[in-house]
Amino acid sequence: MASGHAADFASVEYGAQALIEMGPTVVEVRPKDVLETVSALVDIFIRHPDESVAGQLLSELGPMMACPEVARKLLALLASDLEQSSRRRVAQAMALLGPASARACKGFVKKLVELLSDSDDELQKSAAVAMGQLGACKNLVSKLVDWRTDSDLHKQSIAADVLLQLGPASVPKRLMELFQDPAASMRCFSAEAMGMQGPSAAEACPEAVSKLVDLMLADPDLYVRLTAAQALKQLGPTIATDCPEAISKLIESLADPDQPGRCYAAEALLQLGPAMVEVRPDFMFHLVELLEDPDASVRGAAAEAVGELSLEHLKGCPKAVLGLVRLLEDEKEEVRSRAEGAVRRLGPAIRPSLEKLLNLLGDDEWQAADLIGELGPTAVDCAQALCKLETLLEAPDKQVRITAATSLGKLGPKAVQAVPRLAELLVQMLEDSDSEVRDRAAQVFGELGPSASEACPWGVRRLAQLLKDPELEVRISATESLGHFGVSVLKACPDCVQTLLELPAEMSREKALAMRKLGLVTHPAFQEAVCKVVDSLADPDWMTRHQVVIALEQLGPAAAQALLAKQEMVLEALQDGVEDPEGTLCQHLCQALITCLDASGASGSGQQHRLALLRAAAVSVSNDNGQKNVLLRHVASSRASNGSELELGVVCVQDKFNLKASKAVAGPVKAVGSIGSE
């Protein structure tokens, strides 16, 4: 670009920015300057495509004032012998000039309409975008229909973009004409385009929304019905207030099981949520019926709709909440999941009706137990709920007992503080004849922590007895739960230490974690257990390896000795870690190394050996530069006991690891290549 042009454009740019900053009043104060600057920006935009700033400034300044002179200049350029690329830029400039100039220049829009049929596809598209931005849609929709169904994906994309720019003021009425088109592709396009107009389309043209509902309910083509349903969702909750005719059609369709689009209608109504209930209070009764709909997707959507309602809405219709609770045991997992989420969202809104709900559930013990748990801590203040939970923990059905124990865990420590009897019943379950019940009881007792042991002082001893349970899963749960009580376990049950030490090798991970929490890290058996945990890094099952590295992270510096003793196995695991199907083993193992080998806890040769292992680990993760850098930064930032920095040399980083020296290893450098050979 010539220096003269650069200087000219710079002055135009500064002038344009100054005018734009003056705001709308610039039209009255300096109209001549606006006209000259717009004209100059158009020239630069057309003749110098590399000046992208010119287009941005033109789009801001152009619409501020009608510039018919500039518009006529653009028309003259199109009539001249220009290259195709320049003609496209002219069409783009016509869009940037703004609607005011288009209306002030006779023949401006007409020329754009002509360009829609030009032999140059790119010019057609530029003209379409211009018409969309100028709001000149009278002759545009039919052309966009052709493009939207064209095999050219770029044309399809342009058609969609332009439809969004046209806005809902006039498009919906034109799209209605296509709802009855004999070609399914045209009907599908019209429905899609209607949805693209967004919520404002409902207010602009309620009639079009009503026709769209007809399309969704009765069109013979499944894909057209589906597209219409998606379009209704895009129109949003405003259709509840702006389109009463469409809402009436949707509600009426619910009564006809043979209606092709009935499920779509139900989901469309349910998506409106509280807005629908505000407009049509009688919809609550339909909502209760939809909670029992034979279609799983409808039941799930109904559950979510109930979850969005307020306490005021639910007061007048307790059956809606009851129906929601019953979905907690629906045969479909998706429905159960959506119902659980809805119950959790309602939480405090359900609490005032909890007693009534428990009464309505009657003998349905499983649902009662599940409901109390889903409400979580909010149910603690309900005496009837806690009383019911006492009964459920002694229910004959083991699944009810397991669910009740799970719910007690969700209520948290405050529940056993309020009713100590709950902790006692949980401890009784530790001796249940069914291993699943013992397992769940052990887990929940640990989750409740010290509050459970205070409510039932002999509970920790009973829990410790499960360390000898015949079932491995129960022993594992008991071991993990004991860790929640810390050193208090040793006071309550001093003989459990020996039992803990006698746990089999397959429980080394749980054994090591429990011993750390119980303050037994100095016991010789602890290091033996940790070494067995490290040995499991060679296990062929990646899930086992993953659990091992998570355990090492939790063990922290207490695992350092074992890691140093087993460094060959650790480095081999790092090399194999990049092949982990989840892609996270290497990351967790690196973090475990940093946590376990934290140099701040050692000095002298101990620290040097730790840093050496970290450095060797960086070499081992040769296929993972991200983890390599994490390890190197940790080595670089570690300090020896005398305060001098121990950093991996820049040469070592560049040559050995083929990495550029980063800020983490820049500054005072002291190579530690010899460390590790000692």
pLDDT at 597: 66
Find all residues with CB under 8 Å of 86, minimum gap 6, and list them: 46, 47, 77
Question: Please, are residues 521 and 515 in contact by the beta-carbon 8 Å criterion?
Answer: yes
Distances (CA, A) of 107 to 102, 113, 114, 309, 372: 9, 10, 10, 55, 72
**Cβ neighbours of 75 (radius 10 Å):** 17
* pLDDT above 80 for 86: yes
pLDDT attached to residue 156: 66
Instruction: Identify the pLDDT of residue 349.
Output: 66
Q: If we measure between CA atoms, which residue out of 345, 360, 432, 424 comes closest to residue 389? A: 424
Q: Which neighbouring-strand residues pair with 645?
A: 639
Question: Which domains occur in the chain, in start order?
Answer: 388-503 (1.25.10.10), 597-678 (no CATH)
Q: What is the mean pLDDT of residues 656-661?
A: 40
The residue that leads in pLDDT, 484 or 155, is 484
Which residues does residue 639 pair with via DSSP β-bridges, in sequence order? Answer: 645
> What type of residue is 573?
A
Instruction: Tell me which residue of 314, 313, 338, 316 sits closest to 327, measured CA to CA.
Output: 338
Q: What is the pLDDT of residues 212-229, one digit of tens each?
A: 888 888 888 888 888 888
Q: According to the model, what pLDDT value does residue 188 have?
A: 83
pLDDT band for 606, please (50, 70, 90 cuts): low
* pLDDT for the residue 171: 59
Mean of pLDDT values over 71-87: 85
Q: Is 503 helix (H, G, I), strand (E, B) or coil?
A: coil
Scan for tokens 């919809």, then name that residue: 283
- pLDDT per residue over 99-134, tens digit each? 888 778 888 878 877 887 777 777 777 777 777 666
What pLDDT score does 469 carry? 87
pLDDT at 478 over 50: yes
Q: What is the DSSP string of 148-172?
A: HTSS-HHHHHHHHHHHHHH-TTTHH
| 413: region left, alpha or beta (phi > 0 left; psi from -120 to 50 alpha) | alpha
Statement: residue 90 has pLDDT above 90: no
Helices (H) and strands (E) in the chain, counts: 46, 0
140 pLDDT exceeds 70? no
pLDDT above 80 (res 546): no
Res. 162: pLDDT tops 50: yes
208 pLDDT above the threshold of 50: yes
Give 613's contacts (C-beta < 8 A, 6+ positions apart): 563, 564, 567, 570, 593, 597, 676
Q: What is the pLDDT of residues 548-569, one digit of tens each?
A: 777 777 787 877 787 777 777 7
Please indicate whether residue 519 or residue 348 has the higher confidence score (pLDDT): 519
Least confident of 18-27, 482-491, 662-671: 662-671
What's the start-to-end Cα distance of the chain, in Å? Answer: 64
Per the model's pLDDT, the better-predicted residue between 109 and 4 turns out to be 109
d(CA 649, CA 657): 11
Question: CA-CA distance, 556 to 554, in Å (whole number)?
Answer: 5
Residue 672: what pLDDT?
Answer: 35
What is the structure's pLDDT at 442?
93
Rg (CA), the chain: 36
Give the C-alpha separation, 372 to 375, whole Å: 5
Q: How far apart are CA 110 and CA 373, in angstroms?
A: 68
Indicate if the pLDDT at residue 435 is higher than 90. Answer: yes
Range 164-193 burial, b when 16+ CB lie within 10 A, else e:
ebbbbebbbebbbebbeeeeeebbbbbbbb
Q: What is the mean pLDDT of residues 541-551?
A: 76
pLDDT digits (tens, 9 = 90+) for 13-29: 888 888 888 888 888 88
**Which range in 269-278, 362-371, 468-477 is most confidently predicted, on average pLDDT?**
468-477
Tokens of 35: 């006209």
91/136 Cα distance (integer angstroms) = 14
pTM of this structure: 0.51
pLDDT reported for residue 393: 92
Judge whether residue 371 has pLDDT over 80.
no
C-beta of residue 144 within 8 angstroms of C-beta of residue 128:
yes
Quick check: 158 pLDDT over 50? yes
Answer positive or negative: Cα dihedral of 172, 178, 184, 189: negative
Average pLDDT over residues 53-82: 86
Say which DSSP state 60 is in.
H
Contact 492, 461 (CB under 8 A): yes
Answer with the residue of higher pLDDT: 163 or 530: 530
Helix, strand, coil percentages for the chain (3-state, nearest 5): 75, 0, 25
pLDDT at 585: 66
What is the full DSSP assignment across 81-101? ---HHHHHHHHHHHHHH-HHH
* pLDDT value of position 498: 75
Give residue 675's pLDDT. Answer: 34
Q: What is the mean pLDDT of the chain?
A: 76
Q: What is the pLDDT of residue 439?
A: 95
